[in-house]
Chain A
Amino acid sequence: KAGVTQTPRYLIKTRGQQVTLSCSPISGHRSVSWYQQTPGQGLQFLFEYFSETQRNKGNFPGRFSGRQFSNSRSEMNVSTLELGDSALYLCASSTPGQGLYGYTFGSGTRLTVV
């Protein structure tokens, strides 16, 4: 079974630009979550999607958005990039009943804003 695939692995962007990150969940997993990891703030929840619907959103500005497609693949977008957006962005997928089995994470996209 293929794992969670995140693309690209690394990204360098300039302040003010926008970026789109992609996540393909494990086949059959319909829930996709996104997390931001920084040295200062640690791992923080961005949002969660299930069947193309956002069910929860973390405490991030509106510049952070996401969506999920009918095949459960998800994208997140960050507009008007700031230096502080430099982070490792992690995607996780899970099945219903995730409370029993935990989440499967991808390897992440490391975004550097210069």
Chain B
Amino acid sequence: SQQGEEDPQALSIQEGENATMNCSYKTSINNLQWYRQNSGRGLVHLILIRSNEREKHSGRLRVTLDTSKKSSSLLITASRAADTASYFCATDSGGSNYKLTFGKGTLLTVNP
């Protein structure tokens, strides 16, 4: 079952612009992770934010987490054509689940 729902489903921007993707989830989490996937290949881990954190940065990435609203956002600043990919949020409920529950993803297209 899908835990997260990304919004928007697709986003098209110009190089240099910022891209913001949102994710909502349903149950309590231990952490939330963002992954990138290029053209149906493997997933690449981008950033992880724990349930007790509100914001995290990594290079051009900024992630926020609002556990009261069960939502997260991923901001990519100064987008490049190479950022074109699908982006997925995934929640880890911790405990003895040992699994990620993924959203449906946002397809980001960065036009040169």
- Assuming the contacts A99-B50, A100-B48, A107-B42, asked whether A42 and B2 have C-beta atoms less than 8 A apart, the reply is yes
Contact A99 B96 (CB under 8 A): no
Contacts A104-B45, A105-B43, A107-B41 given; does A50 touch B50 at CB 8 Å: no
Rounded to whole Å, the gap between the CB of A70 and the closest CB of chain B is 19
Q: By the criterion CB–CB under 8 Å, are A101 and B98 in contact?
A: no
Bin the interface of chain B by size.
20 to 34
- Looking at chain A, what size class is its interface with the partner chain? 20 to 34
Chain B residues, Cβ within 8 Å of A42: 2, 102-105
Main SS of chain A's interface residues?
strand
> Which residues from 62 to 114 on chain A have a C-beta closer than 8 Å to any C-beta of chain B?
88, 90, 92, 98-108, 110
- Which A positions have Cβ atoms within 8 angstroms of B? 4, 31, 33, 35, 42-45, 48, 50, 55-56, 58-59, 88, 90, 92, 98-108, 110
Residues of B that sit less than 8 Å from A by CB: 1-2, 30-31, 33, 35, 40-45, 48, 50, 88, 90, 92, 94, 96-105
